[in-house]
Amino acid sequence: MRTTSSPILRIALTAVLALAALMPSARPATAADPLILRVGTIQDVDALNPFNTALSSGYEAFTLNYDLLVGFGPNLEPAPGYAVTWARKDNGDGTYTWTFGIRPGMLWSDGQPATSEDARWTLQLVLDAINAGTSVGLGYIDPDLSAAGVTKVEAPDPTTLVLTNTDPSERILQMYIPILPKHIWKGQTLDTIGNFPNDPPVVGTGPYQAVEWKTGQYVRFARNPHYWGTQGAADQVVINIYRTDDAMTLALKAGELDYASGINANQFAELKTMPDIATAAGALNGWTMLDLNCYGKDIPGGGASTKALRDPAFRDALGYAIDKNALVERVLSGWGTPGTTQVPPFQAKWHVEPDKPRTFDIEVARQKLADAGYPLDSSGNRLDKEGKPISLRLYLPSDSPDYPRSAAFIQKWFGQLGIKVPLSTYDGAALYDLELPPEAGDGYTADWDMIIWGWTGYADPNPLLRVFTTGAIGSTSDSLWSNPTYDTLFDQQNMAANDEERHGLMAQMQNLFYDQAPYHMLYYNDTLVAYRTDRFAGWQNQPANGVPLFEYGALDYTLLTVAGAASPSPVPTESSPAGSATPGASSGPTTAPTPAASTPAEPVTPADGGSSGGPVLLLVLGVVVLAVVATVALRRGQGSKGGAEDE
């Protein structure tokens, strides 16, 4: 070792050694060290009560905790879940009897038996809400049961569940309703269940159970020792919440994160070239939209700022001032397609393009506004029919950098129409409350004009179609649009005798929605993710044109193996008498090498939602101290790198 007598270097080295003393000492991995899968998102988990979550992060949490009655396979085909078999009988009177074989010997994570009675209690609770004309919690889960036409739920023995329904389709196999433990939830009623926090430790039958939750920071899940299925390699799963996608991406690069969900296009391009990192671009079963407040009645102290938003002609004209191709190219860098209808192209079997599509043309938009009775004043302000200047408040959730970038274009284009567009950003849960109308309960006033946000659908388009029904106002409807013809078509397609008939009815619904414009679909954006391949292997897209996590259930968490370890023998899957695979076209992640696994790291729980490097940051700080002192001595400077993205 070479030493130096320089006072400057001695001071620097002393600082580094002092910082090193503060660092946790390195220790070899032992059998007791948990292997932790660290998943990043910039969307906070809003609730661990499944009935109280409106966000995809909350759905990800409850599908780790609980099983669905019937799960989703790799290509979204029905797969064994809480039930292992199912069969339908046509009763000949317009009703059907479904008999589900519940997994024998299954246990809840607390060791209590999990039986058909738990499933009966869960589904009966939802059915009671439907029959009472109310909802369970926020009302996002209930429509799955009503769409399946379920009228009766029975549990004749511990391993048999019998459902009676009126729906001729097999949507009953796609119900996204978690089966809950009756012994934990039985004290809850329809009046109280919305206030039940379901605090950790959560009791479920899923592969991992929430054991710790810090709002805005992380949710930690531990392996369920009684899980019935294939166990994934991870002993624990930590979903870390980041305030920005930049912080999340830095954590992935530093090895503090294994999976980053929802990165932007620039980050995607950079990460695609990095060793030990793979990327995937999945087609989203959903959309990003400009939501317009169509509520048709006056609300004291609330509602839209102008009645113009109730006018389909006004809403239609706005659509000609939105260049969706530009948004796809300049906001998404091409990772998506321009939006049109409420059934995304992901649902290729059901999606239709509108008969009368709009094209971007500011002059056409101006003329249509004038023809519809919305003139300009002498100052160039667009006036509504009451003679007031139109200023449309645009609200954004804080969980995607694409929203403010899209909003900047909307401001510019609508400004050319003489319409001001002031912006405000809210936490997702706060924005959800803000958009609710009086039908949702006392104190809700729907005090907004426009919102940029997004939806993600299920395997069947029904839940996305239902969002625009009159009956959804007060729960899942965000546009608050009501149209009797649409309602009738929704009921008819729900009871269609065959796919051809249903497709025709759904085509009418999509055209009606497009022409009436309660939304302007901005784009069908791809889901961009990146994940490390040096600690875990076995990443699999679900479906083939999707991404590994934040998709349909917890399947992919159970497929992960330790990187570099010998692949386990294939586990035989249980067959079921119903369901067929419908694989999508593969978009194929860019795969990086998968070297041997590194020593498992401790869970990352950044208090500020950013990257918390722990020992790495202390070491970097020490190096910085050394570098700063040296640069002072040498009188040399180093410019900073990076900066805000160019709009």
Average pLDDT for runs of 10 along the chain of length 647: 29 33 35 88 94 92 97 95 97 96 97 98 95 89 89 98 94 95 94 92 98 96 97 97 94 97 93 96 92 97 97 98 97 95 94 97 98 97 98 93 95 98 93 94 96 88 92 93 98 90 97 98 95 97 93 95 69 34 29 30 36 37 34 28 31
Q: Is there a domain that residue 473 lies in?
A: yes
Q: Name residue, tokens 């200047």.
A: 389
Q: What pLDDT is stored for residue 437 in this prediction?
A: 97
Q: Is there a domain that residue 521 lies in?
A: yes
Distance CA 239, CA 258 (A): 10
Q: List C-alpha distances in Å: 382 to 292, 411, 416.
A: 17, 14, 10
Residues contacting 383, CB < 8 A, separation 6+ = 374, 375, 376, 377, 389, 390
Burial of 160 (C-beta count, 10 Å sphere; 0-12/13-18/19+)? middle
| Amino acid identity, position 449 | D
Q: Are residues 188 and 333 in the same domain?
A: no
Per DSSP bridges, beta strands 450-456 and 394-397 are parallel
CB 523 within 8 A of CB 583: no
Domain termination site, one of 496, 526, 556: 526
The DSSP output letter for 400 is -
Q: Name residue, tokens 């029919």.
A: 385
Q: Are residues 183 and 311 in the same domain?
A: no
Q: How many CB atoms lie within 10 A of CB 161?
A: 27
Of the candidates 292, 337, 353, 285, the residue with the CA atom closest to the CA atom of residue 317:
292
Strand partners, 187: none
Q: What pLDDT is stored for residue 645 in this prediction?
A: 31
CATH code for position 151: 3.90.76.10
Residues contacting 17, CB < 8 A, separation 6+ = none
3-state secondary structure of 181: coil
Q: Are residues 376 and 518 in the same domain?
A: yes
Q: Is there a domain that residue 364 lies in?
A: yes
Q: Name residue, tokens 């006072």.
A: 7
Of the candidates 198, 158, 162, 192, the residue with the CA atom closest to the CA atom of residue 178:
198
Distance CA 528, CA 313 (A): 36
Q: What pLDDT is stored for residue 32 in this prediction?
A: 66
Q: What pLDDT is stored for residue 470 in this prediction?
A: 96
Q: Are residues 447 and 325 in the same domain?
A: yes
The DSSP output letter for 347 is S
CB 439 within 8 A of CB 482: no
Distance CA 287, CA 394 (A): 18
Q: List C-alpha distances in Å: 108 to 58, 67, 502.
A: 20, 11, 40
3-state secondary structure of 160: strand
CB 74 within 8 A of CB 540: yes
Strand partners, 68: 178
CB 410 within 8 A of CB 394: yes
Token couple for 464: 């996305």
Q: Name residue, tokens 């660290």.
A: 38
Q: What pLDDT is stored for residue 570 in this prediction?
A: 40
Helix intervals (H) in 602-641: 615-634
Q: Are residues 145 and 291 in the same domain?
A: no
CB 243 within 8 A of CB 606: no
CATH code for position 489: 3.10.105.10
Strand partners, 72: 78
| Amino acid identity, position 346 | F
Ordered DSSP codes for 504-568: HHHHHHHHHHHHH-SEEEEEEEEEEEEEESSSEE----BTTTTBSSSSSSSHHHHH-EETTSPPP
Q: Are residues 185 and 308 in the same domain?
A: no
Q: Is there a domain that residue 595 lies in?
A: no
Of the candidates 281, 273, 271, the residue with the CA atom closest to the CA atom of residue 588:
281
Task: List phi, psi (to 5°) of 620.
Answer: -60, -40
Cα torsion 129, 133, 138, 143 to 10°: value is 80
Give me the number of domains the chain comprises. Answer: 2
Nearest 5°: the CA angle 34, 39, 45 is 115
Ordered DSSP codes for 423-442: EEEE-HHHHHHHH--GGG-T
What global pTM score does this model have?
0.74
First to last CA, the chain: 52
Q: Is there a domain that residue 78 lies in?
A: yes
CB 486 within 8 A of CB 468: yes
Domain termination site, one of 498, 526, 554: 526
Distance CA 218, CA 238 (A): 7
CB 554 within 8 A of CB 206: yes
Q: Is there a domain that residue 233 lies in?
A: no
- Tell which phi-psi region holds residue 609, choosing left (phi > 0), alpha (psi between -120 and 50) or beta: left
Angle of helix 362-371 versus helix 312-319 axis, rounded to 10: 170
Burial of 590 (C-beta count, 10 Å sphere; 0-12/13-18/19+)? middle
Helix intervals (H) in 331-401: 362-371
Spacing of C-alpha 50 from chain mean position: 14
Distance CA 146, CA 166 (A): 10
Q: Is there a domain that residue 542 lies in?
A: no
Q: How many CB atoms lie within 10 A of CB 572?
A: 6
For 304, the domain range is 287-526
Q: Is there a domain that residue 401 lies in?
A: yes
Domain termination site, one of 526, 553, 584: 526
